[in-house]
Structure formats: C-alpha cells, structure tokens
Amino acid sequence: MTTTYRRTSNYECEELEDELVVMERDSQAMVTLNPAGRLVWEAIENRVTLDELETLFRVAFPDVGEDTMRNDILAVLNALVTTELAFIDEGRG
C-alpha cells in the first residue's frame, strides 16, 4: 500500500504577497504557506505520494538537501492534515 495525500474541497484561499493563506471553511482553521508550502498545496489537488512531492521539490528547489526537503514537505503536510485541509489516503497501488 502506498500513502497518498490529497486536499479537501472545503477551503478558501487568499494570496498575500508571496504567501497563500488557506482556511478550512467549517473550523476556520488557517495555514499560511510560503512558496514551498504552496507547491505542496498545489500538488495535492490530486492524490500524490511523498516521493512524487520530493520529485517536484528537486526541480523547484535544486539547492535544498534531501533531508531538509523531506522534513519541510512533511512539516507542511502535517500542518495541512492537522487543520483538515488535507487528508492521508492509504491504498493507492
């Protein structure tokens, strides 16, 4: 089984300079995303794996080390899941 991530459809977004503020409509929980976080947000519009996210990051941020990249991606995913802006799916194979 492969773990995938996807975003909710119950959100609102607002751009503020180079950041994106995303709010879950029911709880009104908010997350502010920098350009790296925004890349994660845009990628999880469809189901995506951590490996697929890392591939996107390698292209967008080639100077970031592997460990830092994985930790940054996981931090964004954790924030999105905690606020119910994203969900973890088990089972894509």
Query: Three-class SS string for 33-80?
Result: ECHHHHHHHHHCCCCECHHHHHHHHHHHCCCCCHHHHHHHHHHHHHHH
Contact 2, 39 (CB under 8 A): no
Over residues 15-55, the pLDDT tens digits come to 999 999 999 999 999 999 999 999 999 999 999 999 999 99
Q: What is the pLDDT of residues 80-93, one digit of tens each?
A: 999 999 999 886 45
Residue 77 in domain: yes
Interval 56-66 mean pLDDT = 93
Can you read off the two tokens belonging to residue 66?
A: 């592997």
Asked whether residue 15 is assigned to any structural domain, the reply reads no
**Residue at 19 is within a domain:** no
46 in any annotated domain:
yes
pLDDT in tens, 4-14: 999 999 999 99
Q: Is residue 54 part of a domain?
A: yes
- Average model confidence (pLDDT) across the chain: 93
Give the total number of structural domains in the chain.
Answer: 1
Of 69, 74, 68, the closest CA to residue 86 belongs to 74
CA pair distance 32, 48, nearest whole angstrom: 21
The pLDDT, as a whole number, for residue 57 is 94
In a domain, 63, yes or no: yes
In a domain, 45, yes or no: yes
Domain that holds residue 30: 26-86
Q: Which two tokens stand for residue 17?
A: 């300079």
In a domain? residue 6: no
